[in-house]
Chains A and B, each alone.
Chain A
Amino acid sequence: MSAAHPVAALYADHHNWLHAWLRRKLGCTHRAADLAHDTFLRILKGGELPEIREPRAYLTTVAKGVLVNWYQRQALEQAYLEALASLPEAVAPSEEERYLILEALQELDALLNALPPLVKRSFLLAQVGELRYEDIAAQLGISLSTVKRYMRQAFRHCLEHMPDDSP
């Protein structure tokens, strides 16, 4: 067994414990199982494992990141459903459009969430809301040059973190 992947050992020794830890946080065993799975996936994708002295502390650190992402996706979906509900039926998108829009929103959300809130806000108001910089500055109580700086920061961040896989 000496050739076993280090993650395999981590999994064998601590998966049940992590699942129980997540279940306590979430109160749902299925969701906890999904997120435990995501946690190990993330560790695998992370490449080289650091030397781990405290495996459970390490696992909870990664799992917390997975949890935060999950909460963000939940919050996005919730806000999206509310926005959908506020549209009258005649102009509401069809089922398959809803799904495609949600998918696009999740991608954008993941991309923009690493930005400071005001930067994200400015960017959204400009690019999605098509507001003018002057109006954004007035709305957010910041200067025009700050809005421009934020726009550049957001564009730069998005370009760096855009996934390259083509549709």
Chain B
Amino acid sequence: MKSAAASAVISSEALDEAADWLLRLRDGEADRQSFEQWRSSSPEHARAWARAEMLLGKIAAVPPALALPALDRPTRGGRRAALAKIGKLALLLGLLPAGWTAWSLMERQGLFAEYRTAAGERRELRLADGTRLTLNTATAVDVRFSPDSRLILLRTGEILVATGHDDAAGRPLQVLTRHGAATPLGTRFTVRQGDGGTHVAVFEGRVRIAPMRASDAARVLESGQRATYGESAVTPPQATDDSASAWAHGMLLADDMPLSELAAELSRYRPGLIHCAGDVADWRVSGAFPVGDAAAIDRSLAMLAATHPLDIRRRLSGLWVTLGARR
């Protein structure tokens, strides 16, 4: 279990410093270069930091909607009912900025969503105003239309929106994610909510995107542009084309894509995990791969194995798939 090098004692000073760096990096106060300098200046620092990364990895591995109620349970006394727990979370969320409340820790897992797709499922909806909404795999959305607004809450996953013609009636359409809002100005576009930010790609018309916590960072994406936004910033726009919405037709277009990225994309469409062994993660692949239900993903994997010297290992009744170099 423990290798001699890894379990060597790390000095109290090195642990103190690693804790300070964790804080500074978390709060965005760290200068990346001096951090790298610190880390590489001694094997002990490197070991202390390896622990820090392992800690962050463990925290990232647990979904907040499950981890928070489980870990933040009362230390003694009677168990709370599940309802009381949700009530407490709601109370806590009441303290957050208004925009954020829609994205409670529970809700962002799609808890109360109206329309959902399971992994491998795709679904098309036509909304009351004629807007067409296509839900990609593992997606949850709520649609809230009122006399003066049309709100689409993307709780998790990815959607393609082709707006209807209600804009003239003065009811702006908005797609809200936990990172902020995307407001189309008569258009066809996709919105995908990821862990690190929301990705928007525009194919027709224009879309205004506004991060939740920084309205002055808002910008307008033109047709053929894509960008990613977090709660407080938007990346500079990059070029995109219709290949970014190919999933709506059951295709994934890879153009010189790292194999690890393709594996992660395919993994979205089925339960379990598709991942790469380290030796093939950087391989580049191009092609049109079928995506959708489990059978489509199996066809994609078979295509990969037919065109690359790859070995595809399946474990846990096929749930865990590892792509490795063929020996």
A-B contacts, 24 of them at CB < 8 A, read: A76-B71, A79-B79, A82-B82, A82-B85, A83-B85, A85-B82, A86-B69, A88-B111, A91-B109, A91-B110, A101-B66, A124-B67, A124-B71, A128-B59, A135-B95, A135-B96, A155-B18, A155-B23, A155-B52, A159-B18, A159-B48, A162-B54, A162-B55, A166-B54
In the assembled complex, B64 has its CB within 8 A of some CB on chain A? yes
Please tell me if the beta carbons of B73 and A155 are within 8 angstroms of each other in the complex: no
Please tell me if the beta carbons of A83 and B70 are within 8 angstroms of each other in the complex: yes
Please tell me if the beta carbons of B15 and A160 are within 8 angstroms of each other in the complex: yes
Please tell me if the beta carbons of B66 and A80 are within 8 angstroms of each other in the complex: yes
Instruction: Give the distance in Å from the alpha carbon of A32 to the alpha carbon of B124 in the complex.
Output: 56
Instruction: Give the distance in Å from the alpha carbon of A130 to the alpha carbon of B271 in the complex.
Output: 26
Given contacts A90-B140, A155-B22, A76 and B111 within 8 Å (CB-CB): no
Please tell me if the beta carbons of B116 and A101 are within 8 angstroms of each other in the complex: no
A6 to chain B, nearest CB (A): 25
Instruction: Give the distance in Å from the alpha carbon of A127 to the alpha carbon of B67 in the complex.
Output: 11
B263 to chain A, nearest CB (A): 17
In the assembled complex, B51 has its CB within 8 A of some CB on chain A? yes
Instruction: Give the distance in Å from the alpha carbon of A130 to the alpha carbon of B52 in the complex.
Output: 18
B286 to chain A, nearest CB (A): 31
In the complex, besides A129-B68, A151-B23, A162-B55, 4 extra interface pairs with C-beta distance below 8 angstroms are A83-B82, A91-B110, A135-B96, A166-B3
Which residues from A are CB-within-8-Å of B22? 155, 159
In the assembled complex, B130 has its CB within 8 A of some CB on chain A? no
Partner of B67, one of A82, A105, A121: A105
Most chain B CB within 10 A, of A76, A79, A165, is at A79
In the assembled complex, B61 has its CB within 8 A of some CB on chain A? yes
Instruction: Give the distance in Å from the alpha carbon of A124 to the alpha carbon of B62 in the complex.
Output: 12
Please tell me if the beta carbons of B71 and A104 are within 8 angstroms of each other in the complex: no
Instruction: Give the distance in Å from the alpha carbon of A31 to the alpha carbon of B198 in the complex.
Output: 48
B29 to chain A, nearest CB (A): 11
Chain A contact patch, size range: 35 or more
A88 to chain B, nearest CB (A): 6
A151 to chain B, nearest CB (A): 6
Given contacts A76-B71, A128-B62, A128-B68, A138 and B319 within 8 Å (CB-CB): no
In the assembled complex, B1 has its CB within 8 A of some CB on chain A? yes
Please tell me if the beta carbons of A158 and B55 are within 8 angstroms of each other in the complex: yes
Given contacts A109-B71, A129-B105, A164-B7, A159 and B58 within 8 Å (CB-CB): no
Please tell me if the beta carbons of A159 and B52 are within 8 angstroms of each other in the complex: yes
Chain B contact patch, size range: 35 or more
Interface residue ranges, B against A (CB under 8 Å): 1-3, 6-7, 15-16, 18-20, 22-23, 26, 48, 51-52, 54-55, 58-59, 61-73, 75, 79, 81-82, 85-86, 92, 95-96, 105-106, 109-111, 113, 116-118, 140, 156, 271-272, 316, 319-320
Which residues from A are CB-within-8-Å of B105? 129
Which residues from A are CB-within-8-Å of B64? 128-130
Please tell me if the beta carbons of A164 and B2 are within 8 angstroms of each other in the complex: yes
| Interface hits, A67-119 → B, CB 8 Å | 75-76, 78-80, 82-88, 90-91, 93-94, 96-97, 100-101, 104-105, 107-109, 112, 117
Nearest-CB residue, chain A, relative to B22? A155
Please tell me if the beta carbons of A83 and B58 are within 8 angstroms of each other in the complex: no
Instruction: Give the distance in Å from the alpha carbon of A105 to the alpha carbon of B63 in the complex.
Output: 10
A158 to chain B, nearest CB (A): 5
Which residues from A are CB-within-8-Å of B85? 82-83, 86
Please tell me if the beta carbons of A91 and B156 are within 8 angstroms of each other in the complex: yes
Which residues from B are CB-within-8-Å of A160? 15
Instruction: Give the distance in Å from the alpha carbon of A75 to the alpha carbon of B70 in the complex.
Output: 8
Please tell me if the beta carbons of A166 and B71 are within 8 angstroms of each other in the complex: no
Which residues from A are CB-within-8-Å of B319? 94, 96
Given contacts A96-B316, A128-B68, A86 and B63 within 8 Å (CB-CB): no
Given contacts A75-B73, A86-B82, A164-B2, A91 and B140 within 8 Å (CB-CB): yes
Which residues from A are CB-within-8-Å of B70? 76, 79-80, 83, 105, 109
Instruction: Give the distance in Å from the alpha carbon of A88 to the alpha carbon of B142 in the complex.
Output: 14
Instruction: Give the distance in Å from the alpha carbon of A124 to the alpha carbon of B20 in the complex.
Output: 18
Partner of B73, one of A79, A85, A88: A79
